[in-house]
Amino acid sequence: MRILILVLALACLFGLAAMWHQHRIATKKEERDEARRLAAGESAETEVGIIREGWGVVLIGKPAGAAAPAVPNDPGRSGPITEPGPGHAVDGSQSGPGVTPPTSLEPADLELVVQPGQSLSKIAAAQYGTSKKELVDALARYNGLASADALQSGFKLKLPSPAKLQAFAASR
């Protein structure tokens, strides 16, 4: 009877070792296949993990260096402010009689620090999808440059929305 129990225990241990080994081989094959996909450019490794072809990553949060929005200080309230108090707009500025709210919801200009090797036409093609001379010249004038060739590395370039740039070009 003892021999039978010993044989069964050994068989169970052998089965467990075989299952562990099979799992380890499958894991190594997956790692090898992932390394092949990375080398072939079919997926990319990022700080959030491996991204397969056709997938992307969206990072949600405030831009680096952005200040926290102003919040009105009302000593009569406790806890988080969910609505603006009387005389205050959502952004913490004053509102009410005699105060004109902003009328334009135009997005702010993007700022880009020009890197060595970048040109105004390359930046325009990347931002606006085209590098037509009229667009590049308007972008140069918008940034106070004498010409598109005056762009230098380290310059803080303002990139307005296409509609804002078009309106600027039409006003000149």
Local confidence band at 107 (pLDDT 50, 70, 90 cut-offs):
confident
If pLDDT is split at 50, 70 and 90, which confidence band does 140 have?
A: very high
pLDDT, residue 100, reads 60
With a cut of 70, say whether residue 172 has pLDDT above it. yes
Helix (H, G, I), strand (E, B) or coil at 19: helix
For 88-106, give the DSSP string: B-TTS-B-STT-PPP---P
pLDDT greater at residue 130 or residue 24:
24
pLDDT tens-digit series, residues 46-103: 766 777 777 776 766 666 665 655 555 545 544 444 445 555 554 545 555 555 655 6
Length of the chain: 172
Q: Find where tokens 């260096």 sit.
A: 65
Residues above pLDDT 90, as percent of the chain: 27
Q: What is the mean pLDDT of residues 14-41?
A: 90
Query: In the structure, what pLDDT confidence band is assigned to residue 110 with cuts at 50, 70 and 90?
Result: confident
Whole-model pTM: value is 0.41
Task: Give Cβ neighbours of residue 112 (< 8 Å, ≥ 6 apart).
Answer: 123, 156, 157, 159
Residue position matching structure tokens 């803080």:
156
Least confident of 17-26, 49-58, 136-145, 153-162: 49-58
Residue 44: what pLDDT? 75
